[in-house]
Amino acid sequence: MSDDDAETRSARSPGAEATAGPTWRPVSRANTYELVIDAIEEQIVAGSLTVGDPLPAERDLASKLGVSRASVREALRVLESLGVVRSSGGSGRGAGTFIAAMPSAALTRFLRLHVALTNFSLSDVTETRIQLERSSAVLAAARAGEDALAAINAQLAMMDTPGISLEVFNDADTAFHVAIAQAAGNQLFSDLTGAIRTSLRTSIFAAFNRIEDQQGLMSELQAQHRAIMAAIVAGDTEEAARLTEEHIRFAASELPGLSDD
Protein backbone atom coordinates (compact mmCIF):
# COMPACT_ATOMS: atom_id res chain seq x y z
CA MET A 1 0.00 0.00 0.00
CA SER A 2 1.40 3.41 -0.97
CA ASP A 3 1.81 6.30 1.41
CA ASP A 4 -1.00 8.15 -0.42
CA ASP A 5 -3.38 5.22 0.15
CA ALA A 6 -2.47 5.10 3.82
CA GLU A 7 -3.17 8.83 4.23
CA THR A 8 -6.52 8.48 2.45
CA ARG A 9 -7.56 5.53 4.68
CA SER A 10 -6.45 7.43 7.77
CA ALA A 11 -8.49 10.46 6.77
CA ARG A 12 -11.60 8.28 6.46
CA SER A 13 -11.11 6.38 9.68
CA PRO A 14 -13.14 7.11 12.86
CA GLY A 15 -11.85 10.13 14.77
CA ALA A 16 -10.18 11.59 11.71
CA GLU A 17 -12.44 14.66 11.73
CA ALA A 18 -11.06 15.75 15.10
CA THR A 19 -7.52 15.95 13.78
CA ALA A 20 -8.23 17.10 10.22
CA GLY A 21 -6.57 20.33 9.11
CA PRO A 22 -8.28 23.32 7.51
CA THR A 23 -10.28 22.86 4.35
CA TRP A 24 -9.01 24.92 1.47
CA ARG A 25 -11.14 25.92 -1.50
CA PRO A 26 -10.20 27.85 -4.62
CA VAL A 27 -10.73 31.58 -4.22
CA SER A 28 -12.76 33.54 -6.72
CA ARG A 29 -10.60 35.40 -9.20
CA ALA A 30 -13.46 37.20 -10.95
CA ASN A 31 -12.33 40.51 -9.45
CA THR A 32 -8.68 39.89 -8.75
CA TYR A 33 -7.91 43.60 -8.63
CA GLU A 34 -10.04 43.80 -5.46
CA LEU A 35 -7.75 41.22 -3.86
CA VAL A 36 -4.81 43.45 -4.77
CA ILE A 37 -6.54 46.41 -3.12
CA ASP A 38 -7.18 44.26 -0.04
CA ALA A 39 -3.51 43.27 0.09
CA ILE A 40 -2.33 46.88 -0.10
CA GLU A 41 -4.93 47.96 2.46
CA GLU A 42 -3.74 45.21 4.80
CA GLN A 43 -0.19 46.56 4.66
CA ILE A 44 -1.40 50.13 5.34
CA VAL A 45 -3.53 49.07 8.31
CA ALA A 46 -0.66 47.00 9.70
CA GLY A 47 1.60 50.03 9.52
CA SER A 48 3.97 48.40 7.04
CA LEU A 49 3.12 51.12 4.52
CA THR A 50 2.77 54.76 5.52
CA VAL A 51 2.37 58.08 3.70
CA GLY A 52 5.23 58.59 1.26
CA ASP A 53 6.28 54.94 1.08
CA PRO A 54 6.75 53.53 -2.44
CA LEU A 55 4.92 50.47 -3.67
CA PRO A 56 6.87 47.79 -5.54
CA ALA A 57 7.06 48.19 -9.28
CA GLU A 58 4.01 46.87 -11.11
CA ARG A 59 5.79 43.75 -12.33
CA ASP A 60 7.26 42.99 -8.90
CA LEU A 61 3.96 43.52 -7.09
CA ALA A 62 2.17 41.24 -9.53
CA SER A 63 4.80 38.56 -8.91
CA LYS A 64 4.63 38.93 -5.11
CA LEU A 65 0.84 38.63 -5.09
CA GLY A 66 0.62 35.94 -7.77
CA VAL A 67 -1.70 37.95 -9.99
CA SER A 68 -1.53 39.49 -13.44
CA ARG A 69 -0.05 42.91 -14.11
CA ALA A 70 -3.45 43.95 -15.48
CA SER A 71 -5.02 43.28 -12.05
CA VAL A 72 -2.31 45.34 -10.32
CA ARG A 73 -2.77 48.13 -12.84
CA GLU A 74 -6.55 48.22 -12.27
CA ALA A 75 -6.13 48.18 -8.48
CA LEU A 76 -3.70 51.09 -8.59
CA ARG A 77 -6.04 53.01 -10.88
CA VAL A 78 -8.86 52.63 -8.34
CA LEU A 79 -6.64 53.58 -5.39
CA GLU A 80 -5.31 56.61 -7.22
CA SER A 81 -8.85 57.81 -8.01
CA LEU A 82 -9.61 57.60 -4.28
CA GLY A 83 -6.47 59.55 -3.39
CA VAL A 84 -4.86 56.63 -1.56
CA VAL A 85 -1.84 56.46 -3.88
CA ARG A 86 -0.17 58.86 -6.27
CA SER A 87 1.80 57.94 -9.35
CA SER A 88 4.69 59.77 -10.98
CA GLY A 89 5.97 58.85 -14.41
CA GLY A 90 9.49 58.92 -15.73
CA SER A 91 12.53 57.47 -14.06
CA GLY A 92 14.64 58.26 -11.05
CA ARG A 93 14.01 58.66 -7.35
CA GLY A 94 10.67 60.46 -7.68
CA ALA A 95 9.16 58.02 -10.16
CA GLY A 96 6.75 55.25 -9.22
CA THR A 97 3.66 54.81 -7.08
CA PHE A 98 3.56 56.09 -3.51
CA ILE A 99 1.15 55.97 -0.59
CA ALA A 100 -0.56 59.36 -0.33
CA ALA A 101 -2.45 61.10 2.42
CA MET A 102 -6.06 60.94 1.29
CA PRO A 103 -7.10 64.55 0.63
CA SER A 104 -10.26 65.86 2.22
CA ALA A 105 -11.81 66.42 -1.20
CA ALA A 106 -11.53 62.71 -2.03
CA LEU A 107 -13.14 61.67 1.23
CA THR A 108 -15.88 64.25 0.83
CA ARG A 109 -16.60 63.11 -2.72
CA PHE A 110 -16.77 59.47 -1.62
CA LEU A 111 -19.13 60.26 1.27
CA ARG A 112 -21.26 62.56 -0.88
CA LEU A 113 -21.81 59.87 -3.50
CA HIS A 114 -22.50 57.27 -0.83
CA VAL A 115 -25.13 59.43 0.85
CA ALA A 116 -26.70 60.45 -2.46
CA LEU A 117 -26.94 56.94 -3.91
CA THR A 118 -27.84 54.93 -0.83
CA ASN A 119 -31.47 54.64 0.16
CA PHE A 120 -31.28 56.52 3.46
CA SER A 121 -34.58 57.92 4.68
CA LEU A 122 -34.78 61.69 4.86
CA SER A 123 -35.48 61.46 8.58
CA ASP A 124 -32.22 59.52 9.03
CA VAL A 125 -30.31 62.19 7.14
CA THR A 126 -31.92 64.94 9.20
CA GLU A 127 -31.22 63.23 12.53
CA THR A 128 -27.62 62.59 11.49
CA ARG A 129 -27.18 66.24 10.58
CA ILE A 130 -28.64 67.31 13.91
CA GLN A 131 -26.31 65.17 16.00
CA LEU A 132 -23.27 66.06 13.90
CA GLU A 133 -23.92 69.79 13.69
CA ARG A 134 -24.97 70.15 17.32
CA SER A 135 -21.55 68.79 18.26
CA SER A 136 -19.85 71.14 15.82
CA ALA A 137 -21.71 74.13 17.24
CA VAL A 138 -20.78 73.21 20.81
CA LEU A 139 -17.10 72.84 19.95
CA ALA A 140 -17.08 76.01 17.83
CA ALA A 141 -18.60 78.00 20.70
CA ALA A 142 -15.95 76.61 23.03
CA ARG A 143 -12.85 77.02 20.93
CA ALA A 144 -13.34 79.08 17.73
CA GLY A 145 -10.59 81.63 17.12
CA GLU A 146 -10.74 84.93 15.24
CA ASP A 147 -9.84 83.40 11.87
CA ALA A 148 -12.50 80.69 12.21
CA LEU A 149 -15.14 83.25 13.18
CA ALA A 150 -14.14 85.42 10.22
CA ALA A 151 -14.66 82.45 7.88
CA ILE A 152 -18.18 81.93 9.24
CA ASN A 153 -18.97 85.64 8.97
CA ALA A 154 -17.80 85.67 5.34
CA GLN A 155 -20.58 83.23 4.46
CA LEU A 156 -23.14 85.25 6.39
CA ALA A 157 -22.08 88.35 4.44
CA MET A 158 -22.45 86.43 1.18
CA MET A 159 -26.02 85.40 2.08
CA ASP A 160 -26.81 89.05 2.91
CA THR A 161 -25.98 90.13 -0.66
CA PRO A 162 -29.00 91.97 -2.14
CA GLY A 163 -30.66 90.03 -4.95
CA ILE A 164 -28.57 86.93 -4.30
CA SER A 165 -29.62 83.94 -6.39
CA LEU A 166 -30.94 80.76 -4.79
CA GLU A 167 -27.92 78.82 -6.07
CA VAL A 168 -25.38 81.20 -4.54
CA PHE A 169 -27.38 81.41 -1.31
CA ASN A 170 -27.53 77.63 -0.99
CA ASP A 171 -23.80 77.23 -1.63
CA ALA A 172 -23.03 79.91 0.97
CA ASP A 173 -25.48 78.22 3.35
CA THR A 174 -23.59 74.94 2.96
CA ALA A 175 -20.26 76.73 3.40
CA PHE A 176 -21.62 78.39 6.57
CA HIS A 177 -22.34 75.03 8.19
CA VAL A 178 -19.00 73.61 7.02
CA ALA A 179 -17.19 76.66 8.43
CA ILE A 180 -18.77 76.02 11.84
CA ALA A 181 -17.52 72.43 11.71
CA GLN A 182 -14.06 73.70 10.78
CA ALA A 183 -14.21 76.18 13.66
CA ALA A 184 -14.84 73.18 15.91
CA GLY A 185 -11.36 71.99 14.99
CA ASN A 186 -12.54 68.61 13.71
CA GLN A 187 -11.76 67.96 10.05
CA LEU A 188 -13.90 64.82 9.94
CA PHE A 189 -16.90 66.81 11.19
CA SER A 190 -16.22 69.29 8.40
CA ASP A 191 -15.94 66.65 5.68
CA LEU A 192 -19.04 64.80 6.84
CA THR A 193 -21.07 68.01 7.08
CA GLY A 194 -20.05 69.06 3.58
CA ALA A 195 -20.73 65.63 2.14
CA ILE A 196 -24.21 65.34 3.62
CA ARG A 197 -25.22 68.91 2.78
CA THR A 198 -23.94 68.66 -0.79
CA SER A 199 -25.77 65.36 -1.31
CA LEU A 200 -29.02 67.25 -0.61
CA ARG A 201 -28.27 70.07 -3.08
CA THR A 202 -30.59 68.89 -5.85
CA SER A 203 -33.41 68.13 -3.41
CA ILE A 204 -33.06 71.56 -1.79
CA PHE A 205 -33.34 73.33 -5.15
CA ALA A 206 -36.39 71.27 -6.08
CA ALA A 207 -38.01 72.04 -2.72
CA PHE A 208 -37.33 75.78 -2.97
CA ASN A 209 -38.87 75.88 -6.44
CA ARG A 210 -42.17 74.66 -4.94
CA ILE A 211 -42.28 77.59 -2.53
CA GLU A 212 -44.03 80.85 -3.44
CA ASP A 213 -42.15 83.16 -1.07
CA GLN A 214 -38.56 82.04 -1.61
CA GLN A 215 -37.06 85.33 -0.43
CA GLY A 216 -39.10 85.18 2.75
CA LEU A 217 -37.81 81.72 3.60
CA MET A 218 -34.23 82.71 2.75
CA SER A 219 -34.56 85.70 5.10
CA GLU A 220 -35.84 83.49 7.91
CA LEU A 221 -33.01 81.00 7.42
CA GLN A 222 -30.50 83.84 7.46
CA ALA A 223 -31.96 85.18 10.72
CA GLN A 224 -31.48 81.73 12.22
CA HIS A 225 -27.90 81.64 10.92
CA ARG A 226 -27.16 84.94 12.65
CA ALA A 227 -28.64 83.69 15.92
CA ILE A 228 -26.42 80.61 15.78
CA MET A 229 -23.41 82.80 15.07
CA ALA A 230 -24.24 85.08 18.00
CA ALA A 231 -24.36 82.10 20.36
CA ILE A 232 -21.01 80.84 19.06
CA VAL A 233 -19.38 84.26 19.49
CA ALA A 234 -20.80 84.47 23.02
CA GLY A 235 -19.35 81.07 23.82
CA ASP A 236 -22.82 79.78 24.78
CA THR A 237 -22.45 76.11 23.89
CA GLU A 238 -25.96 75.04 24.96
CA GLU A 239 -27.67 77.84 23.03
CA ALA A 240 -25.55 77.21 19.94
CA ALA A 241 -26.53 73.54 19.97
CA ARG A 242 -30.21 74.28 20.58
CA LEU A 243 -30.45 76.87 17.82
CA THR A 244 -28.63 74.60 15.38
CA GLU A 245 -31.11 71.78 15.96
CA GLU A 246 -34.08 74.14 15.64
CA HIS A 247 -32.65 75.51 12.39
CA ILE A 248 -32.19 72.10 10.78
CA ARG A 249 -35.64 70.90 11.84
CA PHE A 250 -37.22 74.15 10.60
CA ALA A 251 -35.59 73.85 7.17
CA ALA A 252 -36.64 70.20 6.87
CA SER A 253 -40.25 71.06 7.71
CA GLU A 254 -40.50 74.17 5.52
CA LEU A 255 -38.92 72.72 2.38
CA PRO A 256 -41.36 70.25 0.77
CA GLY A 257 -39.72 66.96 -0.02
CA LEU A 258 -36.96 67.26 2.59
CA SER A 259 -38.85 65.30 5.21
CA ASP A 260 -40.63 61.95 5.28
CA ASP A 261 -43.90 63.56 6.40
Are 160 and 83 found together in one domain?
Answer: no
Residues 164 and 64 in one domain: no
Closest CA to 144 of 183, 198, 190: 183
User: Do 121 and 228 have their domain in common?
Assistant: yes
- Global pTM reads 0.71
| One domain for residues 179 and 78 | no
Dihedral pair phi/psi, residue 27, rounded to 5°: -85, 150
Q: Do residues 207 and 119 lie in contact, with contact meaning Cβ atoms separated by under 8 Å? A: no
Grade residue 114 by pLDDT with cuts at 50, 70 and 90: confident
Last residue of a domain, one of 99, 115, 147: 99
For residue 12, which of 4, 151, 217, 54 has the smallest C-alpha distance?
Answer: 4
Q: Is the pLDDT of residue 110 over 90?
A: no
Instruction: Return the percentage of the chain with pLDDT > 90, whole number.
Output: 59
Calculate the CA 49 to chain-centre distance: 22
Residue 226 Cα to chain centre, angstroms: 28
Predicted pLDDT of residue 7:
45
The residue from 57, 77, 99 where one domain ends is 99
Q: What is the mean pLDDT of residues 221-243?
A: 98
The parent domain of residue 204 ranges over 105-254
Q: Are 143 and 222 part of one and the same domain?
A: yes
For residue 240, tell me if it sits in a domain.
yes
Distances (CA, A) of 177 to 24, 130, 148, 244, 253: 52, 11, 12, 10, 18
pLDDT reported for residue 200: 85
pLDDT of residue 95: 78
Q: What is the pLDDT of residue 68?
A: 93
Same domain, residue pair 94 and 114: no
Q: What confidence score (pLDDT) does residue 8 get?
A: 46
What is the chain's mean pLDDT, rounded? 86
Is 74 inside a domain boundary?
Answer: yes
pLDDT on residue 56: 94
Q: Is residue 120 part of a domain?
A: yes
Asked which of 74, 99, 124 is the last residue of a domain, the reply is 99
pLDDT in tens, 17-45: 455 667 666 655 558 899 999 999 999 99
Q: What CATH code is carried by the domain that includes residue 118?
A: 1.20.120.530
Most distant CA atoms of the chain, gap in Å:
96
Please give the C-alpha separations between residue 108 and each of 83, 124, 139, 193, 205, in angstroms, as whole numbers: 11, 19, 21, 9, 21
Question: CA quadruple 16, 18, 21, 26: dihedral positive or negative?
Answer: positive
Residue, of 237 and 205, whose pLDDT is higher: 237
